[in-house]
Structures are given as C-alpha cells and as structure tokens.
Amino acid sequence: MDILKTSSKSNPSSVAGAIVAALKEHNKIEIHAVGAGALNQAVKAIAIARGFIAPMGDDLICSPAFADITIAGEDRTAIKLMVEKRK
Amino acid sequence: MDILKTSSKSNPSSVAGAIVAALKEHNKIEIHAVGAGALNQAVKAIAIARGFIAPMGDDLICSPAFADITIAGEDRTAIKLMVEKRK
C-alpha cells in the first residue's frame, strides 16, 4: 500500500494528482496527516481527486483512523485516511 | 439527509455519537466544516464513530466535497463530508 504524507503547506491539487497516480498502481492508499492544517490539505486533495476521476465514472471513498507515529523522536497522533475507489 | 456542523471547538466524541444516532435514521448524512480546525474535529469524529459501530460489524466511509455556504452574509467555502455505512 502506498503512503502519502501531507503538511499544512501541501498543494491540494498536487496531492490530488499523486492520489490518482498511486491508485493506478494500488487498490488502496493511505494519506498521513499530523495537525489540522495538514489534514485540511489532505481532505481537500481527496475532494479534488474525486473530480479528476469522475469523468471515468469512478469515485473515491475514504475511511479515517488514528495512527501513532514518531516524528523526530516524539510520539504524535496522526490521522490516517485510507483512500480507495468506490466499488 | 441529516446535516451536522462542526466547529474547531466541537468535541469529537460527542459528534461521533451524533453521527451514529443520525445514521440510524438516515442512510447518508453530511457534516459541514468551515476551516481546518472544524474539519479536524469532523474527521476525528468519523474515526471515533467507526469504533462505535465496529462491534456491530459495520464500518463507515466518507466522501469529501466542497460546498459554497453563506455565513453572516459572507461567502465561504466549506468542506462537506458525506458519511454512510459501508455496504
């Protein structure tokens, strides 16, 4: 499974492109975001990616979950968005 | 369809309870969030709600989209999360 990471400075359109590209190779991808700003860009990216794939008759769904990760030796809680095409 | 609204001060567990309650009456609900803080609480609430319904063998999926809304006469872009049970 492919893992994408967003920050509060990520460009949602670029992340949307990366989501669509990753879903061509994997059935399911994960987006990890730490903090409200990073999550905001991740969710916007999924909304934009839905528009990218809609002309092909596809749609995306996501399931959010919590994930414990370590950044620079510190324990942080990330939000993990599992993204896949709607069947 | 039921519409829930979150703010950056929403309690994710309370919103999770409201999601589960609303999904007992509707197949699909919408959560509207304006701003990164509000969206953060909404996504956390969905992650928590997944845990609430998992013991019944259910799971939740969400589809994000943009929504134009008017708050106090001002045009704002909200994120709309359409939440439903996974079939």
On chain A, the residues whose CB falls within 8 A of the CB of B58 are none
State ipTM. 0.94
Bridge partners for B50 per DSSP: none
Look up tokens 């045009």; give the residue.
Answer: B75
| Mean pLDDT of the region B3-11 | 96
pLDDT band at A55 (very low <50, low <70, confident <90, very high): very high
Task: Check whether B84 has a pLDDT greater than 80.
Answer: yes
Closest-CA residue of chain B to A46: B64
What is the residue whose two structure tokens read 């370590």? Answer: A70
pLDDT of residue B87: 79
Q: Which pLDDT band, with edges at 50, 70 and 90, does A3 fall under?
A: very high
Assess B39–A contact: CB distance below 8 Å, yes or no: yes
**Residue B1 pLDDT greater than 80, yes or no:** no
Name the minimum distance, in Å, from the CA of B30 to any CA of chain A.
Answer: 14
Cα angle A42, B36, A46 (rounded to 5 degrees) comes to: 25
Number of residues that this document lists for chain A: 87
Q: How do residues B43-66 score in pLDDT, each as one tens digit?
A: 999 999 999 999 999 999 999 999
